[in-house]
Structure 1
Protein backbone atom coordinates (compact mmCIF):
# COMPACT_ATOMS: atom_id res chain seq x y z
CA UNK A 1 0.00 0.00 0.00
CA UNK A 2 1.23 3.50 -0.83
CA UNK A 3 2.12 5.67 2.15
CA UNK A 4 1.95 8.97 0.28
CA UNK A 5 0.10 10.36 -2.69
CA UNK A 6 1.88 11.26 -5.88
CA UNK A 7 0.23 14.20 -7.62
CA UNK A 8 2.12 15.99 -10.40
CA UNK A 9 2.70 19.66 -9.57
CA UNK A 10 0.68 22.12 -11.62
CA UNK A 11 -1.73 19.43 -12.77
CA UNK A 12 -5.14 20.08 -14.23
CA UNK A 13 -8.16 18.60 -12.48
CA UNK A 14 -8.32 15.86 -15.11
CA UNK A 15 -4.62 15.03 -14.67
CA UNK A 16 -5.02 14.93 -10.89
CA UNK A 17 -7.91 12.49 -11.07
CA UNK A 18 -6.05 10.34 -13.62
CA UNK A 19 -3.04 10.25 -11.29
CA UNK A 20 -5.21 9.39 -8.27
CA UNK A 21 -7.28 6.58 -9.79
CA UNK A 22 -4.55 3.92 -9.83
CA UNK A 23 -3.38 5.02 -6.39
CA UNK A 24 -6.90 4.68 -4.95
CA UNK A 25 -7.25 1.29 -6.66
CA UNK A 26 -3.96 0.15 -5.08
CA UNK A 27 -4.95 1.38 -1.62
CA UNK A 28 -8.32 -0.40 -1.55
CA UNK A 29 -7.38 -3.52 -3.54
CA UNK A 30 -7.92 -6.64 -1.47
CA UNK A 31 -9.30 -4.72 1.51
CA UNK A 32 -12.60 -6.36 2.42
CA UNK A 33 -13.61 -3.66 4.92
CA UNK A 34 -15.72 -0.98 3.19
CA UNK A 35 -15.36 1.41 6.16
CA UNK A 36 -11.56 1.33 5.86
CA UNK A 37 -11.82 1.88 2.11
CA UNK A 38 -14.26 4.78 2.48
CA UNK A 39 -11.96 6.37 5.08
CA UNK A 40 -8.94 6.17 2.78
CA UNK A 41 -10.87 7.44 -0.25
CA UNK A 42 -12.17 10.43 1.74
CA UNK A 43 -8.65 11.20 2.98
CA UNK A 44 -7.12 10.92 -0.50
CA UNK A 45 -9.73 13.21 -2.10
CA UNK A 46 -9.49 15.78 0.72
CA UNK A 47 -5.69 15.84 0.56
CA UNK A 48 -5.47 15.96 -3.22
CA UNK A 49 -8.14 18.59 -3.90
CA UNK A 50 -8.52 20.36 -0.56
CA UNK A 51 -12.30 20.07 -0.84
CA UNK A 52 -14.21 21.63 2.06
CA UNK A 53 -15.81 18.30 3.05
CA UNK A 54 -15.52 14.78 1.65
CA UNK A 55 -17.32 11.80 3.05
CA UNK A 56 -19.75 8.97 2.81
CA UNK A 57 -23.26 8.40 4.02
CA UNK A 58 -24.28 4.74 4.30
CA UNK A 59 -27.76 3.30 3.90
CA UNK A 60 -28.37 1.63 7.26
CA UNK A 61 -32.16 1.50 7.26
CA UNK A 62 -34.72 1.72 4.48
CA UNK A 63 -34.69 5.19 2.93
CA UNK A 64 -32.20 6.55 5.47
CA UNK A 65 -28.53 7.53 5.23
CA UNK A 66 -26.18 7.62 8.22
CA UNK A 67 -22.82 9.35 8.39
CA UNK A 68 -19.81 7.23 7.50
CA UNK A 69 -16.11 8.03 7.19
CA UNK A 70 -15.37 11.64 6.27
CA UNK A 71 -12.78 14.41 6.21
CA UNK A 72 -13.74 17.95 7.18
CA UNK A 73 -15.79 19.74 9.82
CA UNK A 74 -18.63 18.14 11.78
CA UNK A 75 -21.45 16.77 9.67
CA UNK A 76 -25.10 15.85 9.80
CA UNK A 77 -25.53 12.35 11.20
CA UNK A 78 -28.74 11.12 9.54
CA UNK A 79 -30.30 12.10 6.22
CA UNK A 80 -33.55 10.61 4.93
CA UNK A 81 -33.78 9.83 1.22
CA UNK A 82 -36.53 12.48 1.07
CA UNK A 83 -34.22 15.38 2.05
CA UNK A 84 -31.21 17.23 0.75
CA UNK A 85 -28.81 16.55 -2.07
CA UNK A 86 -27.60 13.28 -0.55
CA UNK A 87 -31.14 12.03 -0.12
CA UNK A 88 -32.06 13.00 -3.69
CA UNK A 89 -29.01 11.22 -5.14
CA UNK A 90 -29.75 8.12 -3.06
CA UNK A 91 -33.43 8.14 -4.04
CA UNK A 92 -32.83 8.81 -7.76
CA UNK A 93 -29.74 6.57 -7.85
CA UNK A 94 -27.87 9.12 -9.93
CA UNK A 95 -25.13 11.68 -9.47
CA UNK A 96 -26.28 15.18 -8.65
CA UNK A 97 -24.16 18.32 -9.12
CA UNK A 98 -25.37 21.44 -7.32
CA UNK A 99 -23.59 24.67 -8.37
CA UNK A 100 -25.22 26.70 -5.55
CA UNK A 101 -26.57 24.76 -2.57
CA UNK A 102 -28.69 27.74 -1.49
CA UNK A 103 -30.76 27.26 -4.65
CA UNK A 104 -31.36 23.52 -4.14
CA UNK A 105 -34.86 22.92 -2.74
CA UNK A 106 -34.61 21.15 0.61
CA UNK A 107 -30.85 21.51 0.92
CA UNK A 108 -29.66 20.45 4.37
CA UNK A 109 -27.19 23.04 5.62
CA UNK A 110 -24.82 20.99 7.77
CA UNK A 111 -22.42 23.93 7.35
CA UNK A 112 -23.15 27.42 6.10
CA UNK A 113 -19.66 27.43 4.53
CA UNK A 114 -20.61 24.78 1.97
CA UNK A 115 -21.47 26.53 -1.30
CA UNK A 116 -21.58 23.78 -3.95
CA UNK A 117 -21.83 20.02 -3.85
CA UNK A 118 -21.63 16.79 -5.82
CA UNK A 119 -23.13 13.52 -4.58
CA UNK A 120 -22.42 10.15 -6.21
CA UNK A 121 -24.47 7.10 -5.19
CA UNK A 122 -23.18 3.55 -5.05
CA UNK A 123 -25.97 1.24 -6.24
CA UNK A 124 -25.62 -2.52 -5.87
CA UNK A 125 -28.28 -5.18 -5.96
CA UNK A 126 -30.72 -2.53 -7.17
CA UNK A 127 -30.42 -0.54 -3.92
CA UNK A 128 -28.44 2.52 -2.92
CA UNK A 129 -25.76 1.26 -0.54
CA UNK A 130 -24.12 4.62 0.14
CA UNK A 131 -23.35 8.02 -1.32
CA UNK A 132 -20.07 9.89 -1.72
CA UNK A 133 -20.70 13.52 -0.79
CA UNK A 134 -18.18 16.24 -1.72
CA UNK A 135 -18.69 19.87 -0.74
CA UNK A 136 -16.79 22.99 -1.75
CA UNK A 137 -16.68 26.39 -0.10
CA UNK A 138 -16.78 27.87 -3.62
CA UNK A 139 -19.79 28.25 -5.89
CA UNK A 140 -19.93 26.08 -9.02
CA UNK A 141 -16.87 24.05 -8.04
CA UNK A 142 -17.94 20.77 -9.66
CA UNK A 143 -18.39 19.80 -13.28
CA UNK A 144 -18.57 16.81 -15.62
CA UNK A 145 -14.89 16.03 -14.97
CA UNK A 146 -15.61 15.57 -11.26
CA UNK A 147 -18.71 13.52 -12.10
CA UNK A 148 -16.80 11.22 -14.43
CA UNK A 149 -13.92 10.50 -12.06
CA UNK A 150 -15.87 10.42 -8.80
CA UNK A 151 -18.25 7.90 -10.39
CA UNK A 152 -15.21 5.85 -11.39
CA UNK A 153 -13.83 6.04 -7.83
CA UNK A 154 -17.19 4.90 -6.42
CA UNK A 155 -17.08 2.13 -9.03
CA UNK A 156 -13.75 0.95 -7.58
CA UNK A 157 -15.34 0.82 -4.13
CA UNK A 158 -18.35 -1.01 -5.55
CA UNK A 159 -16.21 -3.66 -7.21
CA UNK A 160 -14.04 -4.13 -4.12
CA UNK A 161 -16.76 -4.22 -1.46
CA UNK A 162 -20.27 -4.41 -2.91
CA UNK A 163 -20.21 -6.62 -6.02
CA UNK A 164 -21.96 -9.48 -4.26
CA UNK A 165 -24.56 -7.16 -2.69
Structure 2
Protein backbone atom coordinates (compact mmCIF):
# COMPACT_ATOMS: atom_id res chain seq x y z
CA UNK A 1 0.00 0.00 0.00
CA UNK A 2 1.18 3.53 -0.74
CA UNK A 3 1.74 5.21 2.66
CA UNK A 4 2.59 8.59 1.08
CA UNK A 5 -0.87 8.94 -0.43
CA UNK A 6 -2.34 12.43 0.00
CA UNK A 7 -5.37 12.80 2.25
CA UNK A 8 -8.57 14.09 0.71
CA UNK A 9 -11.29 15.94 2.61
CA UNK A 10 -14.31 14.04 1.31
CA UNK A 11 -16.73 15.90 3.60
CA UNK A 12 -15.71 19.18 1.96
CA UNK A 13 -15.83 17.58 -1.50
CA UNK A 14 -19.35 16.34 -0.70
CA UNK A 15 -20.51 19.87 0.12
CA UNK A 16 -18.92 21.20 -3.07
CA UNK A 17 -20.39 18.43 -5.21
CA UNK A 18 -23.84 18.93 -3.72
CA UNK A 19 -23.71 22.62 -4.70
CA UNK A 20 -22.31 21.78 -8.15
CA UNK A 21 -25.14 19.37 -8.98
CA UNK A 22 -27.74 22.12 -9.29
CA UNK A 23 -29.93 20.29 -11.80
CA UNK A 24 -31.71 16.94 -11.69
CA UNK A 25 -30.42 16.13 -15.22
CA UNK A 26 -28.37 12.92 -15.04
CA UNK A 27 -26.22 13.71 -18.10
CA UNK A 28 -25.20 17.08 -16.70
CA UNK A 29 -24.66 15.72 -13.20
CA UNK A 30 -22.57 12.71 -14.24
CA UNK A 31 -20.50 14.94 -16.53
CA UNK A 32 -19.93 17.47 -13.76
CA UNK A 33 -19.10 14.77 -11.23
CA UNK A 34 -16.55 13.04 -13.50
CA UNK A 35 -14.78 16.36 -14.11
CA UNK A 36 -14.99 17.37 -10.43
CA UNK A 37 -13.50 14.11 -9.15
CA UNK A 38 -10.79 14.11 -11.83
CA UNK A 39 -9.74 17.61 -10.76
CA UNK A 40 -10.16 17.27 -6.98
CA UNK A 41 -8.94 13.76 -6.16
CA UNK A 42 -5.15 13.48 -6.55
CA UNK A 43 -3.29 10.85 -8.55
CA UNK A 44 -6.04 9.81 -10.98
CA UNK A 45 -5.51 9.17 -14.67
CA UNK A 46 -9.17 8.38 -15.45
CA UNK A 47 -12.54 9.11 -13.83
CA UNK A 48 -15.87 8.32 -15.38
CA UNK A 49 -19.07 6.40 -15.66
CA UNK A 50 -20.14 3.22 -17.37
CA UNK A 51 -23.91 2.87 -17.73
CA UNK A 52 -26.04 -0.26 -18.06
CA UNK A 53 -27.82 0.55 -21.31
CA UNK A 54 -28.66 -3.09 -22.09
CA UNK A 55 -28.85 -6.24 -20.01
CA UNK A 56 -25.52 -7.12 -18.32
CA UNK A 57 -23.49 -4.74 -20.51
CA UNK A 58 -21.90 -1.44 -19.46
CA UNK A 59 -21.54 1.34 -22.04
CA UNK A 60 -19.20 4.30 -21.73
CA UNK A 61 -20.73 7.44 -20.20
CA UNK A 62 -19.31 10.83 -19.22
CA UNK A 63 -15.62 10.68 -18.29
CA UNK A 64 -12.31 12.51 -17.98
CA UNK A 65 -9.07 11.02 -19.26
CA UNK A 66 -7.92 9.05 -22.28
CA UNK A 67 -10.38 7.26 -24.59
CA UNK A 68 -11.74 4.20 -22.84
CA UNK A 69 -12.79 0.60 -23.43
CA UNK A 70 -16.36 0.07 -24.57
CA UNK A 71 -18.50 -1.97 -24.06
CA UNK A 72 -17.76 -3.93 -20.88
CA UNK A 73 -19.76 -7.03 -20.04
CA UNK A 74 -20.70 -7.87 -16.47
CA UNK A 75 -18.27 -10.81 -16.67
CA UNK A 76 -15.31 -8.59 -17.66
CA UNK A 77 -12.79 -6.68 -15.58
CA UNK A 78 -13.16 -4.63 -12.41
CA UNK A 79 -16.15 -2.63 -13.72
CA UNK A 80 -17.96 -5.82 -14.66
CA UNK A 81 -17.27 -7.30 -11.21
CA UNK A 82 -18.75 -4.22 -9.51
CA UNK A 83 -21.83 -4.34 -11.74
CA UNK A 84 -22.23 -8.12 -11.38
CA UNK A 85 -21.92 -8.18 -7.57
CA UNK A 86 -23.38 -4.76 -6.77
CA UNK A 87 -20.37 -4.22 -4.49
CA UNK A 88 -17.53 -1.70 -4.63
CA UNK A 89 -14.29 -3.07 -6.03
CA UNK A 90 -11.05 -1.61 -4.61
CA UNK A 91 -8.09 -3.12 -6.43
CA UNK A 92 -4.55 -2.33 -5.29
CA UNK A 93 -2.87 -3.96 -8.33
CA UNK A 94 -5.00 -4.25 -11.45
CA UNK A 95 -2.44 -6.54 -13.08
CA UNK A 96 -3.18 -9.13 -10.39
CA UNK A 97 -6.97 -8.90 -10.94
CA UNK A 98 -8.26 -11.85 -12.99
CA UNK A 99 -9.77 -10.61 -16.25
CA UNK A 100 -8.55 -7.03 -15.86
CA UNK A 101 -9.17 -4.96 -19.00
CA UNK A 102 -6.11 -2.82 -19.74
CA UNK A 103 -7.59 0.27 -21.39
CA UNK A 104 -4.61 2.38 -20.28
CA UNK A 105 -1.35 0.57 -19.60
CA UNK A 106 -0.43 3.32 -17.10
CA UNK A 107 -3.26 2.36 -14.72
CA UNK A 108 -2.09 0.38 -11.69
CA UNK A 109 -4.98 0.57 -9.20
CA UNK A 110 -8.72 0.99 -9.54
CA UNK A 111 -11.80 1.87 -7.52
CA UNK A 112 -15.24 1.06 -8.98
CA UNK A 113 -18.47 1.95 -7.20
CA UNK A 114 -21.80 0.54 -8.44
CA UNK A 115 -24.67 3.00 -8.70
CA UNK A 116 -27.83 1.24 -7.52
CA UNK A 117 -31.31 2.55 -8.38
CA UNK A 118 -34.36 0.69 -7.07
CA UNK A 119 -32.27 -2.41 -6.37
CA UNK A 120 -30.77 -2.51 -9.88
CA UNK A 121 -27.31 -1.51 -11.10
CA UNK A 122 -27.78 1.69 -13.09
CA UNK A 123 -24.06 2.03 -13.81
CA UNK A 124 -20.67 2.33 -12.14
CA UNK A 125 -18.22 5.10 -11.32
CA UNK A 126 -14.72 3.98 -12.32
CA UNK A 127 -11.55 5.65 -10.99
CA UNK A 128 -8.09 4.63 -12.21
CA UNK A 129 -4.69 5.64 -10.85
CA UNK A 130 -1.15 5.17 -12.12
CA UNK A 131 -0.09 4.46 -8.51
CA UNK A 132 -0.32 0.94 -7.09
CA UNK A 133 -2.38 0.85 -3.89
CA UNK A 134 -3.70 4.37 -4.48
CA UNK A 135 -7.15 3.83 -2.93
CA UNK A 136 -7.52 3.32 0.83
CA UNK A 137 -10.68 2.41 2.73
CA UNK A 138 -11.14 6.15 3.44
CA UNK A 139 -11.10 6.87 -0.31
CA UNK A 140 -13.64 4.14 -0.92
CA UNK A 141 -15.97 5.48 1.77
CA UNK A 142 -15.53 9.07 0.58
CA UNK A 143 -16.21 8.27 -3.08
CA UNK A 144 -19.19 6.09 -2.11
CA UNK A 145 -20.60 9.11 -0.23
CA UNK A 146 -20.10 11.29 -3.33
CA UNK A 147 -21.94 8.69 -5.41
CA UNK A 148 -24.84 8.79 -2.96
CA UNK A 149 -25.05 12.57 -3.45
CA UNK A 150 -25.23 12.01 -7.21
CA UNK A 151 -28.00 9.42 -6.83
CA UNK A 152 -30.03 11.63 -4.47
CA UNK A 153 -29.68 14.76 -6.62
CA UNK A 154 -30.26 13.21 -10.06
CA UNK A 155 -33.17 11.74 -11.95
CA UNK A 156 -31.58 8.47 -13.11
CA UNK A 157 -33.73 7.01 -15.88
CA UNK A 158 -34.03 3.34 -16.75
CA UNK A 159 -31.39 3.10 -19.48
CA UNK A 160 -31.85 -0.57 -20.30
CA UNK A 161 -34.42 0.32 -22.96
Which 4+ runs in 1 deviate beyond 3 A?
Answer: 162-165
Q: Which position in structure 2 is the counterpart of 1:81?
A: 74
CA deviation map 1:83-111 (0-9, x unaligned): 10000001100101000000000001111
Extract unaligned runs of 5+ from structure 2. Answer: 1-5
1:62 paired residue number? 55
Q: After the TM superposition, which residues 1-165 of structure 1 pair with which residues of structure 2 at under 5 Å, given as runs?
A: 13-15=7-9, 17-29=10-22, 31-50=23-42, 51-162=44-155
TM, length-normalised to structure 1:
0.87
Q: Which range is displaced more, 85-94 or 41-50?
A: 41-50
Post-superposition shift, 1:49? 2.1
**Separation in 2, partners of 1:158, 1:127:** 13
For normalisation by structure 2, the TM-score amounts to: 0.89
Q: Distance in 1 between matches of 2:56 and 2:156?
A: 21
Residues 5-49 of structure 1, C-alpha deviations (whole Å, 9 max, x = no match): xxxxxxx5242x2221101001113x1211111111111111112
Aligned residues: 152
CA RMSD of aligned residues (A): 1.5
Would the aligned equivalents of 1:120 and 1:151 in 2 still touch at CA under 8 Å? yes
Contact 1:124 1:162 in 2 (8 A): no
Alpha-carbon distance, 1:67 to partner: 0.3
Q: 1:162 to 1:93 in 2, by over 3 A?
A: farther
List alignment gaps of at least 5 residues for structure 1. Answer: 1-11
CA distance in 2, matches of 1:84, 1:145: 23
- State how far apart, in whole Å, the 2-side matches of 1:34 and 1:163 are: 6
* Map of 2:3 onto structure 1: none
Distance 1:23 1:32 in 2: 16
CA distance in 2, matches of 1:125, 1:64: 18
